[in-house]
Amino acid sequence: MRANRSAVCCVVWCLVALLLGGCTVGPKYVRPSTDVPANYKESADWKPAQPDDQISRGKWWEIYSDAQLNSLEDRFQVSNQTLKAQEAQFFQARAAVRVARSQFYPQAAINPAASRTAQSQKKALFAATSPKDYNDFLLPVDVSYEPDLWGRVRRTVEAGRSEAQASAADLANVDLALHAELAMDYFELRGLDSQQQLLDSTVVAYSKALDLTQSRYHGGIASEVDVAQAQTQLETTRALAIDVGVSRSAFEHAIAVLVGQPPADFSLPPMPLTMSPPAFPPGLPSDLLERRPDIAAAERRVQEANAGIGVARSAYFPAVTLSPSGGFESSAIGTLLQGPAGMWQLAGSAAETVFDGGLRRGISDEAKGAYEQSVADYRQTVLAAFEEVEDNLAALRILQDEQKTEDAAVAAAEHSLSLSNSRYKGGVANYLEVTTAQSAALSDERTAVDILTRQMVSSVLLVKAIGGGWNVSQIPPV
């Protein structure tokens, strides 16, 4: 009897091993091909520079050598709620992989029970020798296991793992985008501080010009029209200086939210923008596929969709379930765990759908469509990434040329203003000539500040476009 039991167990384990070695249906994943240019169109004049090493270390914002920006970026990493929400989403995706992997293993349940039964002596087939009252103690162990014959579970785990890795890349992309947004808001705010400084100094200069004009008017040299023009110019500039505060407050509030603080409890002291954007090479287009987290996320979702095709195809094959059970049953608690109280059963079943009205075909076609969509999304993400790099390389190149031209325009406007003031003081020109020169000089100086601000913002956008210091190797294996 014992030999027969051993033989049965041997057969069962051999069957289990055979079932575990089943095949995996569905196409093997191959990374989609994309058209990658050899070089960027706008990168011909870019040379290797030291900041590139700092970018590769992760804290790319340190290339600007701005202590205040570094402090804000570090506070953001700890306090930003959007980033925390994305982290929680990644943890959910990683937990979903563990849920999928649990299907590799059998499920076992223990359902102990105890009962006291009083039988009716009038029931059918009641034997006089049967006890009227009896106890029943039961300690069963039920096992259910569906072997992964066709790779459904393996494909499900593969899809879950790919989604978790895509979620990790999404987290990196959100992190990069928010760090970049913080840096851009910071440079916009500092650009406004430069505008404020320029306008405040201009107000002082215009106040002195008004005083001079009033003195000339009281001396009978200038007309009341000159005084009115000087007064208009001064008050208009004061209004512009006040208006800068509206935009500055908005950027300050945005920075407060990014670093996780209520705007009411946050402030940044004025600090005019004086730095120039650092020079760093964008690398090769082929590197971009490994450096952009959004590209990595899109590629992982292609693999997820590919695994979904395998899951859909596994429905065409029969589902085999093994359900052995065993345990102990006795009328007395003291003899429950003794040998004679033992019981066991081996059972198995197979189910195959013979008609479903096209359900499986529809699910399979749906999975194929999802795969084709994910491939198209991936390729579009790659194209958009190349576009962003080219856009910001072009912006930095053009803005640099514009800055040189604008610097010359500022110098010319200041010289023109100096000449107009001299001509007015000498009685050769009226005050309208002075106000015209003042307006032109102020406009050119404000444009120069705006160009510098745009250069700093474009440099941040370029860092973001090339992926910051991120690399695909940072995706966790899950």
Per-residue pLDDT at 9:
53
> What pLDDT tens digit does each residue of the chain (478 aa) get?
444 455 445 445 545 544 445 588 989 999 999 999 888 887 766 554 455 555 666 789 999 999 999 999 988 877 788 888 999 999 999 999 999 999 999 999 999 999 998 877 777 776 766 677 888 899 999 999 999 999 999 999 999 999 999 999 999 999 999 999 999 999 999 999 999 999 999 999 999 999 999 999 998 888 999 999 999 999 999 999 999 999 999 999 999 999 989 999 999 999 999 999 988 778 889 889 999 999 999 999 999 999 999 999 999 999 999 999 999 988 888 888 888 888 999 999 999 999 999 999 999 999 999 999 999 999 999 999 999 999 999 999 999 999 999 999 999 999 999 999 999 888 888 889 999 999 999 999 999 999 999 999 999 999 999 999 888 988 988 8
pLDDT digits (tens, 9 = 90+) for 68-86: 999 999 888 777 888 889 9
Per-residue pLDDT at 2:
46
Per-residue pLDDT at 41:
86
Per-residue pLDDT at 435:
93
Radius of gyration of the chain (CA): 38
Nearest to 112 by CA among 330, 321, 322: 330
Structure tokens at 216: 């000339």
Per-residue pLDDT at 5:
53
**Cα–Cα distance between 321 and 332 in angstroms, integer?**
34
Per-residue pLDDT at 71:
93
pLDDT digits (tens, 9 = 90+) for 280-326: 778 889 889 999 999 999 999 999 999 999 999 999 999 999 999 99
Burial of 40 (0-12, 13-18, 19+ CB in 10 A): buried
Structure tokens at 153: 């579970």
Per-residue pLDDT at 3:
43
Contact 290, 471 (CB under 8 A): yes
Per-residue pLDDT at 387:
95
Per-residue pLDDT at 379:
97
Domains and CATH numbers, the chain: 22-105+150-316+359-474 (1.20.1600.10)
